[in-house]
Structure 1
Amino acid sequence: MPDTFVVTPIPLEESKSYLILKRLLDIVGSSLGILILSPFLVLLAIIIKFEDKNASIFFSQDRVGLDGKTFKMFKFRSMVSDAEERLANLLQQNETTGAMFKMANDPRVTKVGRFIRKTSLDELPQLWNVLKGEMSLVGPRPPLPREVAEYTSYDLQRLSVVPGCTGLWQVSGRSNIGFKEMVDLDILYIKTRSFMMDLKIIVKTIAVLFGSKDAY
């Protein structure tokens, strides 16, 4: 797997004040999130470990971020420990289009995993990625290297900015949106993003924590 993919970025005319405010929002938001949610995060970790004592609580995975550079993205484990090995046998049951894999009744997902994926609680450890600067609170979701290997030059434009925990895709239908539509939404966000847009997306994303029918 390459450490960096070649990306032709979208020409952007963004003010330095926006980029500074965005980074400040990321630092403050992720720090407060980790601090306030820490008791809940510990409880969730205990529940995950109780269900499968032999598996790790956290799951790290190589993802592709800004300018095609790879990094380790963190999640609460929501699948069985050998999920990656089982994937090859499930690819023909993919329920979305393009360079993504989605399956509503994925047999690799644990009982606890179904709940935390439905409510997006499995994504909370990514606040650490945000604090480190590898991700932002808002931006295109970071893809897997195997997905990027199938990208067209148009698709690669998703990697022109720091990837995010949430974005237009998440507040516009999530798993019900195909790959092409997701890319179009990400590129629309990249070309029109602003501090107010980021705040609106964050507010809309909060509703997902109460259970989105579009998440799996």
Structure 2
Amino acid sequence: MSDTNGSIIALVNCDNNLVDFFKGMSLPVKDVICYNDNEELTDALEKGTSIAAVISKSEILAPGGVQLIETIKKTRTDAPPFFLVVNHLSANLRKLALESGVVDVFWQPLVAENVESRINFTLTQWSKLKTNLVKKVPSPKKIPIGKRIFDIVFAGGVLLILSPLFLIIYLAIKLESRGPAFYYSLRVGTGYNVFKFYKFRSMYVNADQRIKDLKHLNQYTIDAQSKQEKSASDNTNYLCAECTQYGKCQFPLHADKVTWCEKQYISSKREGGDSAFFKIKNDPRITKIGNFIRNTSIDELPQLWNVIKGDMSIVGNRPLPLYEAEKLTTDKYALRFAAPAGITGLWQVEKRGKAEMSEEERLMLDNYYAEHHSLWNDARVILKTIPALLQKEQV
């Protein structure tokens, strides 16, 4: 049994009601202390405060969730048991939390008797329980032959059935704005393999040249707390340092005889706080037909050809542009590239189009899929994809 009588329970991101709720319980600790945020808790851990358990009021994928437990593990080798109090819960999120090291998840409204018994059991048995919480990182899975057969049959059938729609979309794009109807860019997929990624054009041809004027609207940059204001005096030359030495863009988008830069104005990539993703609400670079095909995901249909070629699967982690993938090479995120690249995936159906979908949440779900992809899980994602196609926000 664990001796916790001289320790405290640390509440994080708490309010007065939550403090009173836990203080009213009979727990084998000296006191229940509230820490306003993750930083205060980390400081206490670094100072050697005797903490028997951490209870964070946070959603699983938010900064006070699985991200916080990773910080605690880096701060203390003898990390205390970690609990979450959440408002939203699903089977996927619960499994992700438990496999990330969260001991238990309490779903509001809380039932005092149940919560008290579960915390007491964990604290008294912690010395035995913690030895069974070591997470084993699985080896990358090969794409099952059944999955490959399904991909070819499904993609081929859809291409055949939707060929009239392809013709209509092609004509609509050509009539609305100058430029080609299709384009391809280089993407990074399974095992960091680079391939040509096909889509219907949904933006004006010169859209990429406006990125420098719209950088401040980046959804992921706005959401990230560590972002710094970009200087108005930045170099107006849109070629990055790597491309400048060649005198032309090394990361182009290609469409017929038109070529434009996908990595324009990314000199800020050398600034540590820059987001790996670029997304704008109500993006003015998008054409009218582009807005329609994006909201209905019709712009993604040419990727069925990528599936036929074997570059991608129907379900998997989204392949990333080179300038995004180059930022995700650490052990924490490289796992996402062990999974098949796909047209649809876990994060798209979990929280597609919602403003609160952060960069960190996307990456955590990508890693989760890499460890658990299977034909059964893929079928569940496909069934959830159809209602997720119509987005509420233009993102």
TM over 0.5: yes
Aligned position for 1:3: none
Within 1, Cα distance between the matches of 2:335 and 2:183? 27
Aligned to 1:171, the other structure's residue is in SS state helix
Question: CA deviation digits over 1:145-171, x for unaligned, max 9?
Answer: 111222251222211122100001110
Aligned position for 1:161: 339
Matched, 1:142 2:324: no
Q: Residues 282 and 394 of structure 2 are in contact (CA less than 8 Å); yes or no, is this contact kept in structure 1?
A: no
Q: Residues 140 and 167 of structure 1 are in contact (CA less than 8 Å); yes or no, is this contact kept in structure 2?
A: yes
Flag structure 1 segments of 5+ consecutive residues without an equivalent. Answer: 1-9
Q: Residues 148 and 156 of structure 1 are in contact (CA less than 8 Å); yes or no, is this contact kept in structure 2?
A: no
Within 2, Cα distance between the matches of 1:183 and 1:13? 17
Flag structure 2 segments of 5+ consecutive residues without an equivalent. Answer: 1-136, 222-274
Task: Name the structure where strand makes up a greater proportion of residues.
Answer: 2
State, as a whole percentage, how many aligned pairs show the same letter: 43
Task: Name the structure where helix makes up a greater proportion of residues.
Answer: 1
Query: How do residues 174-189 of structure 1 correspond to structure 2 at under 5 angstroms?
Result: 174-176=352-354, 177-189=357-369
RMSD of Structure 2 on Structure 1 (CA):
1.7
Within 2, Cα distance between the matches of 1:215 and 1:86? 18
Matched, 1:85 2:263: no
Normalising to structure 2: TM-score of the pair?
A: 0.49
Within 2, Cα distance between the matches of 1:51 and 1:133? 33
Q: Residues 102 and 175 of structure 1 are in contact (CA less than 8 Å); yes or no, is this contact kept in structure 2?
A: no
Normalising to structure 1: TM-score of the pair?
A: 0.88
Within 2, Cα distance between the matches of 1:12 and 1:137? 22
Aligned position for 1:27: 152
Within 2, Cα distance between the matches of 1:215 and 1:173? 14
Matched, 1:205 2:360: no
Within 2, Cα distance between the matches of 1:56 and 1:28? 29
Aligned AA (1:123): E
Q: Residues 316 and 344 of structure 2 are in contact (CA less than 8 Å); yes or no, is this contact kept in structure 1?
A: yes
Q: Which has the higher contact order (CA 8 A, sep 6+)?
A: 1
Within 1, Cα distance between the matches of 2:337 and 2:370? 10
Question: CA deviation digits over 1:99-132, x for unaligned, max 9?
Answer: 1011111111001111111111110000000110
Q: Residues 170 and 181 of structure 2 are in contact (CA less than 8 Å); yes or no, is this contact kept in structure 1?
A: yes
Aligned position for 2:293: 116
Aligned position for 2:253: none
Following TM superposition, the consecutive aligned residue runs of length 4 or more in structure 1 with deviations greater than 3 angstroms are: none
Aligned AA (2:211): L
Structure showing greater radius of gyration is 2
Deviates more, 1:176-185 or 1:83-92: 83-92
Question: CA deviation digits over 1:27-53, x for unaligned, max 9?
Answer: 01100010011111111111111111x
Within 1, Cα distance between the matches of 2:388 and 2:164? 21
Match of 1:39 among 149, 164, 168: 164
Aligned AA (1:143): L
